[in-house]
Amino acid sequence: MGSPCTNLKAIVAAIATVIVPFLSAEARAQDAASANFSMLSEAELLARLEVSSPEDAAGLDRELQSLWSKSGSAAMDLLLRRGRDAMERHEWSVALDHLTALTDHAPEFSEAWSERARAFFSIERFGPAVADLERALALNPNDYNAIFALGQVFEFFDDPIRAYAAYQRAKAIHPHHEEVTKALDRLSAEVDGTAL
């Protein structure tokens, strides 16, 4: 019984010596890029995002999302995480409970409003979703995901011109946002030639 386990350990060790150096080099490069981005302020991250390559944009986006997801309070960050986890499980009332508690206790935390808007939109409560998006964007006018979500609301209500304008604004901040690019491509023929 000891022999198969020993053989297995030897096999795993042999594979690790061959594969790990390749993975480590790539991981070190990603860590270095991420470390470079994490030392930047929000304004610097946004400025770089605007002129970035698609490869750099992914890292800059992660850094901005991480930055915007920090409320400054461990308890509030826990409420945000619980709300997001509940949304992933499609437990909308649980998500709304957590996110409403978060907006009540941290009303200046824009990500709380943005995430609650997403939960409201998912259960087709569009009025509260729009109100929360407006609050999120008043607190953080550069939140391209909230701008994109507002475009989705306009598109849902068959207002392609306003949707297109929202998507253009999001793209001006994050030129490589895939969903924004798809939305602009989808609506371009419909609003082409229309003065925005």
Q: What are the residues whose beta carbons fall under 8 Å from the beta carbon of 2, sequence distance 6 or more?
A: none
Name the residue with tokens 């997001």: 84
What pLDDT does 195 receive? 44
Q: CA 48 to CA 57: how far, in whole Å? A: 8
Label residue 39 by pLDDT band (50, 70, 90). Answer: confident
3-class DSSP state for residue 12?
helix
Percent of the chain with pLDDT over 70: 79
Per-domain boundaries in the chain: 1-69
Q: CA 67 to CA 111: how far, in whole Å? A: 10
Kindly report the pTM of this predicted structure: 0.78
What pLDDT does 3 receive? 53
DSSP codes of every residue in 37-50: HHTS-HHHHHHHHH
- Cα dihedral sign, 85-91-94-98: positive
Task: For 1-13, write each residue's pLDDT tens digit.
Answer: 455 545 545 554 4
Residue 178 clears pLDDT 50, i.e. is over it: yes
